[in-house]
Structure 1
């Protein structure tokens, strides 16, 4: 009986995990994308892809965060989410986790569309990379090891901020490849770093 009880406890813990819930949303949205794309690619674009002008299809602000271009895109984001999400969820609540993930993802997507629009026609974007980078930035900046390093470095407040943004730029460049939304990655990571330093998600 104790074995069965432990199994149930483990299952309930996973079911209550915001990381697992986010993965489930990924799968549901991808299934919907696939079904809609089978009917009409242009309809799928209009429903799930964030593009300029954002005000024309405001629902894509949120939908684009959980949508993915293909299976490879979905799996790569899911892997990174698992690696960082379980660690971040230990210090916060389910609602704060989801609010942070969605907000950072939307801001990252908008930044990609706006910045790319300043230098060209504007790049449509979809995917959870910006939000996942936000969790990664939070995990890096919001832990005791980082506190110790930042305290040891003889840097003022502005220099520490510059260091964080330099770290965000470096992490962004490491993911550079054709088709990758680098502005979204940078924005998500930078927001995560700032949120981690102020312990935004801590209860």
Structure 2
């Protein structure tokens, strides 16, 4: 007869611990926390909420919005749409990386995507203020698309050189971005996030 240590929390406790340690779940929690603060501040002053959470030029005046805007959202529908995509791709990415690399990648890509939206729209005319995790989420999506065996097999089969493969990935990013086109959508941020994710996925940037 053998004896086994009894864990009073059992498998449920183990599962809850794993979920608490999931960077995807942690990011969702930050979404909810920031949205709650946004809602409270918005009741007091919409101008104050804009100044705290929206990335707008000149960025040097409110540098904290570079990061805060990545986790802020313009309404519940905006939050839910980003949360759904985050869940779909986040768990896949976190299986091959560490918690800190996941968060660093998410925040970094999100900030670069937001900056690109403000900068490019500024060059084209009037700069567009931006908020939301779409750029960062598209980065994770790009990483999943580019860093999997199926993509490796397809790119290996195609008779393309290095530059042609880069052009193909950029074309994929542009096509996928256009599919999200709608009034109020930050297309430049989407394209930047997806392109950065595709590039990172090809070099396995997050793999540990």
Q: Shared fold by TM > 0.5?
A: yes
| Residue 186 (structure 1) aligns with | 191
Q: Deviations over 1:78-133 (max 9, x none)?
A: 00000000000000000000000000000000000000001122000000000000
| 1:117 partnered with 2:138 | no
> 2:158 — aligned with what?
153
Structure 1, unaligned runs of 5 or more: none
1:168 & 1:94 partners in 2: Cα distance? 26
Deviation at 1:175, TM superposition (A): 0.2
In structure 1, the residue corresponding to 2:118 is in which secondary structure? helix
Q: How does 1:31-46 map onto structure 2 within 5 Å? A: 31-46=36-51
State the Cα deviation string for residues 25-58 of structure 1 (Å, max 9, x = none): 0000000000000000000000000001111100
Structure 2: give runs of 5+ residues left out of the alignment. Answer: 1-5
| Residue 64 (structure 2) aligns with | 59
**CA deviation vs aligned residue, 1:109-163 (integer Å, no higher than 9, x gap):** 0000000001122000000000000000000000111111110000000000000
Secondary structure of the 2:49 match is helix
* Whole-Å separation in 2 of the counterparts to 1:121 and 1:154: 42
Partner of 2:97: 92
TM-score, normalised to structure 1, is: 0.98
Detail structure 1 runs of 4+ shifted over 3 Å in the superposition. 1-4
Structure 2 residue matching 1:62: 3-state secondary structure: helix
Among candidates 56, 62, 78, match of residue 73 of structure 1: 78
Partner of residue 172, structure 2 = 167
Give the SS at the match of 1:77. helix
What's the offset of the Cα at 1:4? 3.9
Say whether residues 1:177 and 2:171 are aligned partners.
no
> Distance between the aligned counterparts of 1:135 and 1:39, measured in 2?
34
Q: Partners of 2:45 and 2:207 in 1: how far apart? A: 43
* Structure 2 residue aligned with 1:18: 23
TM-score by length of 2: 0.96
- Larger Cα Rg: Structure 1 or Structure 2? 2
Cα distance, 1:3 vs structure 2: 8.4
